[in-house]
Amino acid sequence: MSVDPSREGRASGATRPHFRQVALIGIGLIGSSLARVLRREKLADRIVACARSESTRSKAMELGLADAVTADPAEAARGADLVVLCTPLGAYADVMAAAGPVLAPGAIVTDVGSAKVCVLRDVAPHLPKGVHLVPAHPVAGTEYSGPEAGFAELFEGRWCILTPDAGADDAAVETVAAMWRRAGSRVERMDAKHHDLVLAVTSHLPHLIAYNIVGTAADLETVTESEVIKYSAGGFRDFTRIAASDPVMWRDIFLANREAVLEMLGRFNEDLARLQRAIRWGDGETLRDLFTRTRRIRREIIDSGQAGPPQEKPR
Amino acid sequence: MSVDPSREGRASGATRPHFRQVALIGIGLIGSSLARVLRREKLADRIVACARSESTRSKAMELGLADAVTADPAEAARGADLVVLCTPLGAYADVMAAAGPVLAPGAIVTDVGSAKVCVLRDVAPHLPKGVHLVPAHPVAGTEYSGPEAGFAELFEGRWCILTPDAGADDAAVETVAAMWRRAGSRVERMDAKHHDLVLAVTSHLPHLIAYNIVGTAADLETVTESEVIKYSAGGFRDFTRIAASDPVMWRDIFLANREAVLEMLGRFNEDLARLQRAIRWGDGETLRDLFTRTRRIRREIIDSGQAGPPQEKPR
C-alpha cells in the first residue's frame, strides 16, 4: 500500500492511502460501513470479505461491498496488504491463528474493536516478522447490526483512536490514520491501557447499565411489559436503544475489558448508594447539587460537536 | 368551560373543550408547550401565566403565551375555570394554599407532574367544595427548560395519564382528557399509586441512573473530563442528555416518589450485582442471554411508535 500525498478526492485534504487488497474479517455494521468508505474513496483495488454465515456473505456481495467473499480468514488474508478485524473481540485469536501465517512482510493488521489491551495480547503472537499491528477503535455505532445496517457516513466527525505499541512502525500507523481520516474521522493515538479505561466509562459502563435496567424492567411483576413499552418516552426508551446493541459483540467487550469495567462499576455503585441514601432520607440538596453539575457536562458535549441529533424537535 | 362535540378544528376528530380563563402556574417547557396548544386549538379565551421570576414572565408575554402574567398564584387563579400546575412538584402545596381559596365551584385543577400520589395529598386539602381535581401526567419532554424551549407538537403521539381518584367528577375528567387529545396525546386513566410505580421504572430510575453515571464520570482522576466528552459518542452522551433535565423538577420527583423509586432501585442493584459477578468470573453466557433478551424490548418499543427519531442516520 502507499500513501498518496496529492490529496485529491476529499475536500478535507486528507492524504489518500491505497491498498491492493483489503481483507475485512467480519462485515457487520462497522465492517460494511468501512467497506463503503473504501469504495467511495477508492482506497482499495480489491476487497475480500470474510464471514461465517452464508447469508452474510451473499448479502455483502449483493450490496457490492466486496469483490470476493469467503468463510476462511486465511483465504481472505492471502495477498492482502491490509487486514481489518471487524468481528467480536472474542474471535480475534482464532481468526489470526488462521490468517496470520499467510501474511507477507509489510502487511498491516488493524481492527475496529472497543477494547484494545486484548488486541495486542490476542493478535500479536500470530503475526510473522515484518507484519505491522495497528489496533484502532472508531468510536461510532448504531444499535443496528449486519452488512445492510452500515453506511459510509457513520464515522464522520467521530473520533478514531489508534493504540499501536511504542515500537510500532510509523508509516503503518500513518497509513491506518489516513484511512480513518478519509472516513471523515478525527484520529488520536493513545496508550491501549488508557484507552480501555476511557472507554470503560464513556461506553462500556453506559451499555452495562442500559442492559441492566432494561432487564430489571422486563422482570417486574407489578408493572406489565406493555406498560413499560407504552410509557417508555419518559426516559427508558433511550436505554433500550443502547441495550439493543449486538449481544455477542458486547459480551466480548465486557469479558475483554473486565478490569476497567469492574473499576468503573465500583465507583458507579458507590455514587449510586449515596443517591439512594439521599432519596431515602429526603436530602434534596445532595440531589439538586448533583443534577446541576451533570447539566454542565451535557453543554460541553454539545459544544464539542459530539451530541448527535436532538431526540425531539428542540423548539 | 364546556366540551364542544362539533369536533371542528382537528383532523383527529377529538372533541374541543373550551375555557374562559386558564391559569398556568409555571410556564417552563411543559407549561409553555401547553400554552401553545391552547392557542393553536383556540381552547381558552384568556391565559394567565404565573411565574416567580420576572424574566420568565416577560419572556412568556413576549412569546405571546399568555394574556397576562403575575407572580401571585391567587391572582392567576381568580376567575379561572381551569388551573394547570406546571411547577416542580415541591411547590404544589404552597401554590394551592394560596390559589385554592379563590377558586369558584365548577373550576378544575389539574397538573402535569411526573409523580401522582403526592398530588392528591398536597393539592386536595386546599380545594373548596365543588372544585374538581384531575391530576394528569403528559409523558413527554426534552432536556431543555424554560418558556422558549416549549413547542406545541411536544405531546403528539405521546401518552397522557390521568389519575383522578375514584370519586372524581366524570365531566371534569373528560374535559381534561379532551384537552390532551387536542394536544395530540393518547389519554389513559390509571390509579395514582400504580402510575407512580410504572413511572418509577420507565422514567425516574432511568433519570437517576443517568444523573449518577454522569457524576461518576466527572469525578474520575484517571480519565479527564475532556476525554469523557470527546469520546462520549460510545454511549455516554445519551445519558448526558437525560442528565441535563431540570435539576429542581427532578429533585422533587425523587422526593415525591421515594418509595417506588427505592423499590425499583433495589431491584436494579440486585440485577447489577449479578452482572458484575458474571463479568468478574467470565460468565459470558449470562451476559449474552440478558443482552439478547433486552434487544427484543427495543423492537417492541419501535413497533409501538414510542421510539423517537433515530440517533444516527440508520443506513
Give residue-wise pLDDT tens across range A15-48. 899 999 999 999 999 999 999 999 999 999 999 9
In this predicted structure, the answer to whether residue A175 has a pLDDT above a threshold of 80 is yes
Domain with CATH 3.40.50.720 in chain A: 2-190
User: pLDDT of A200-248, one tens digit each?
Assistant: 999 999 999 999 999 999 999 889 888 998 898 888 988 998 899 899 9
Enter the DSSP assignment of B209: H
pLDDT recorded at residue B234: 82
Separate counts of helices (H) and strands (E) for chain B: 13, 10
Q: What is the mean pLDDT of chain B?
A: 92
Domain with CATH 1.10.3660.10 in chain A: 194-303
- State the Cα–Cα distance between residues A198 and A291, nearest whole angstrom: 23
In this predicted structure, the answer to whether residue A300 has a pLDDT above a threshold of 50 is yes
The residue-averaged pLDDT of A86-114 equals 98
Residues from chain B contacting residue A29 (CB–CB below 8 Å): none
Q: Which residues contact A152 (CB under 8 A, 6 or more apart)?
A: A33, A36, A37, A39, A40, A183
pLDDT recorded at residue A314: 39
Q: Do A209 and B209 touch (CB under 8 A)?
A: yes
**Least Cα separation, residue A6 to chain B (angstroms):** 30
Instruction: With beta carbons less than 8 A apart as the criterion, state whether A51 and A57 touch.
Output: yes
Kindly give the interhelix angle for B205-218 and A258-280, rounded to the nearest 10 degrees: 120
Q: Do B244 and A298 touch (CB under 8 A)?
A: yes
pLDDT recorded at residue B310: 52
pLDDT recorded at residue B13: 52
In this predicted structure, the answer to whether residue A311 has a pLDDT above a threshold of 80 is no
Q: What percent of chain B has pLDDT over 90?
A: 80
Exposed, middle or buried by CB within 10 Å (0-12, 13-18, 19+), for A312?
A: middle
- Minimum CA–CA partner of A240 in chain B: B298
The residue-averaged pLDDT of B80-106 equals 98
User: pLDDT of A42-85, one tens digit each?
Assistant: 999 999 999 999 999 999 999 999 999 999 999 999 999 999 99
Q: Do A244 and B287 touch (CB under 8 A)?
A: no
Which of A13-27, A187-201, A259-273, B9-23 bottoms out in mean pLDDT, i.e. has the lowest?
B9-23
- Minimum CA–CA partner of B196 in chain A: A223
**Least Cα separation, residue B111 to chain A (angstroms):** 17
**Least Cα separation, residue B78 to chain A (angstroms):** 31
**Least Cα separation, residue B25 to chain A (angstroms):** 21
In this predicted structure, the answer to whether residue A282 has a pLDDT above a threshold of 70 is yes
Q: What percent of chain B has pLDDT over 70?
A: 93
pLDDT recorded at residue B160: 97
pLDDT recorded at residue B314: 39
Residues from chain A contacting residue B158 (CB–CB below 8 Å): 233
- Minimum CA–CA partner of B313 in chain A: A154
Q: Do B311 and A309 touch (CB under 8 A)?
A: yes
Q: Which residues contact A245 (CB under 8 A, 6 or more apart)?
A: A141, A143, A145, A207, B291
Q: Do B197 and A142 touch (CB under 8 A)?
A: no
B163 versus B306: the higher-pLDDT residue is: B163
**Least Cα separation, residue A58 to chain B (angstroms):** 19
What are the cell numbers at A49? 470479505
Degrees, nearest 5: CA angle B100-B246-B257: 60
As assigned by CATH, the class of the A2-190 domain is alpha beta
Instruction: With beta carbons less than 8 A apart as the criterion, state whether B242 and B250 touch.
Output: no
What B185-188 contacts at long range (C-beta under 8 Å, 24+ apart), as own/partner pairs, is: B185/B138, B185/B140, B185/B155, B185/B156, B185/B157, B185/B158, B185/B159, B185/B160, B186/B157, B186/B158, B186/B159, B186/B160, B187/B159, B187/B160, B187/B161, B187/B162, B188/A230, B188/B159, B188/B160, B188/B161, B188/B162
From the list B216, B265, B294, which residue is nearest A244 (CB)? B294
DSSP B295-310: HHHHHHHHHTT-S-S-
B14 versus A105: the higher-pLDDT residue is: A105
From the list B235, B261, B282, which residue is nearest A202 (CB)? B235
Residues from chain B contacting residue A242 (CB–CB below 8 Å): 235, 238
- Minimum CA–CA partner of A297 in chain B: B240
- Minimum CA–CA partner of B282 in chain A: A255
Q: Which residues contact A188 (CB under 8 A, 6 or more apart)?
A: A159, A160, A161, A162, B230
**Least Cα separation, residue B103 to chain A (angstroms):** 31
Q: Do A216 and B222 touch (CB under 8 A)?
A: no
**Least Cα separation, residue A251 to chain B (angstroms):** 6
From the list B204, B240, B307, which residue is nearest A298 (CB)? B240
Q: Do B239 and A291 touch (CB under 8 A)?
A: no
pTM of the model: 0.88
pLDDT recorded at residue A38: 98
Which of A128-142, B145-159, B220-234 bottoms out in mean pLDDT, i.e. has the lowest?
B220-234
The residue-averaged pLDDT of A266-279 equals 97
From the list B142, B159, B238, which residue is nearest A314 (CB)? B142
Q: Do B203 and A279 touch (CB under 8 A)?
A: no
Q: How many CB pairs under 8 A join A and B?
A: 364
Mutate which of A65, A139, A211, A232 to disrupt the B interface (most B C-beta within 10 Å)?
A232
Please, which pLDDT band fits residue A13 given cuts at 50, 70 and 90? low
- State the Cα–Cα distance between residues B140 and A160, nearest whole angstrom: 35
From the list B198, B242, B295, which residue is nearest A231 (CB)? B198
pLDDT recorded at residue A90: 97
- State the Cα–Cα distance between residues B237 and A206, nearest whole angstrom: 9
Q: Do B279 and A295 touch (CB under 8 A)?
A: no
Could you give the dihedral angle defined by the CA atoms of residues A136, A139, A140 and A146, in that order, rounded to the nearest 10 degrees? 40
As assigned by CATH, the class of the A194-303 domain is mainly alpha
User: pLDDT of B213-260, one tens digit each?
Assistant: 999 999 998 898 889 988 988 889 889 988 998 999 999 999 999 999
Closest C-alpha among B237, B176, B172 to residue B38: B176
Which of B86-90, B95-99, B108-112, B296-300 bottoms out in mean pLDDT, i.e. has the lowest?
B296-300
pLDDT recorded at residue B14: 62
pLDDT recorded at residue A315: 33
Residues from chain B contacting residue A114 (CB–CB below 8 Å): 234
Exposed, middle or buried by CB within 10 Å (0-12, 13-18, 19+), for A6?
A: exposed
The H-assigned helical ranges of A184-257 are 192-199, 205-218, 225-230, 236-242, 247-256
Residues from chain A contacting residue B217 (CB–CB below 8 Å): 201-202, 297
